[in-house]
Amino acid sequence: MILKETVDGSIEVYHPWGEWTDSKPLALFTESIVTMLTRPSAHQAFVDLVSLMGQTFPISAPAMYVNLNELGTSIYSVLDPKDGGTRDTNRMLEKMENKGNYSYFKVKIGGHPPVLKERVDMAIIQKTRASVLLSINSGTHEYIFRDWVKILAPAMTKLIDNEQLKNMAFSDSLTGLFNHRAFEQMLAVECDRVFRYGDTFSLIMLDIDWFKDVNDRYGHQAGDRVLRAVADKIKESVRKSDMVFRYGGEEFMVIMPHTGLSNALKLAERIRRNIERMSIIPGHKLTLSQGLTQYKVGLSPSDLVRKADIALYEAKNKGKNRIEVE
């Protein structure tokens, strides 16, 4: 309900959802607004919004396509990639003229798997630096979702603006990676998640070997060029679900959700090989040392960082350009 003052000074009551009396649309509208106002991040808000839509109207098979220039494209869909999700994604990415990487988040809603049919797309936000589109099956409560888009657009715009401001605070200006502050927060969130659900994850601490020599011999501009190139190569080497951070100086961190030591070691070796093959400064061989550890019940975020640091120290002491596990 919104109160508006009219020209003659009287107060007019305005219901943004018009004449809806059916409990399902009303519940969807109100709970969606609450979701956007209360979730700690835009990512969690979009997951919960798609879950809410999918549980309320499962045959609509909703998907949200979120493109934030600084953060890339994220897709939140009740459709499994194998059962229509990939087809819908390709169609939408072409429509959005997005040829870059994207992250796909399958949202579980229970019941029978949703079926992809002819789709209807609705723009919630379309700005230079951000766009949010909703895609649903044609003919399935389409009129309800059109009202939903109108009602949610202002709150979603605010959510996106806040997320972009947060991203500026959490980004390393030199490399574009998440920064130390972001690492501390995301590591704490990941520790809490795996503790709650009995999952695991692994952590890599990486350090550029002989980086001081680069600055001393070639200057700090060359050092910055190396840092940017290494950051890009690490990000290119990991999976879409992994999170890469500039921890400080020439040190980086990688959080690998749902990953045990065996797979984490393979990924660390891929990073090591890819860095070793790089040629940034003629005549200078670039390598990384890495310390790897896996979450175990009872370990705090600081415990994990300490274990990764111990492993990294071992890698440095044993000749560099290697991976050690703690």
Instruction: State the pLDDT at residue 161.
Output: 84
**What pLDDT does 70 receive?**
62
pLDDT at residue 164, rounded to an integer? 77
Query: Which of 308, 264, 304, 262 is CA-nearest to residue 289?
Result: 308
Q: CB–CB of 190/268 below 8 Å?
A: no
**pLDDT value, residue 230:** 96
Contact at 8 Å (CB) between 141 and 60?
yes
What CATH class does 2-169 carry?
A: alpha beta
What pLDDT does 22 receive? 60
What is the β-pairing status of strands 72-77 and 102-106? parallel
Residues known to be catalytic: 250
pLDDT at residue 171, rounded to an integer: 84
Q: Which residue has the tokens 């389409």?
A: 142
Nearest to 89 by CA among 123, 122, 66: 66
Low-confidence ranges of the chain (pLDDT < 70): 1-22, 70-71, 98-100
User: Residues 255, 203: contact at Cβ < 8 Å?
Assistant: yes
Q: Fold match between 2-169 and 180-325? A: no
Give the homologous superfamily in CATH for domain 180-325. Answer: Reverse transcriptase/Diguanylate cyclase domain (3.30.70.270)
- Residue pLDDT, tens place only, 267-290: 999 999 999 999 888 888 899 999
Burial of 279 (0-12, 13-18, 19+ CB in 10 A): exposed
Q: Which residues contact 145 (CB under 8 A, 6 or more apart)?
A: 53, 60, 62, 122, 134, 136
Q: Which two tokens stand for residue 10?
A: 């009287």
What pLDDT is recorded for position 14? 44
Contacts of 266 (CB under 8 A, 6+ apart): none
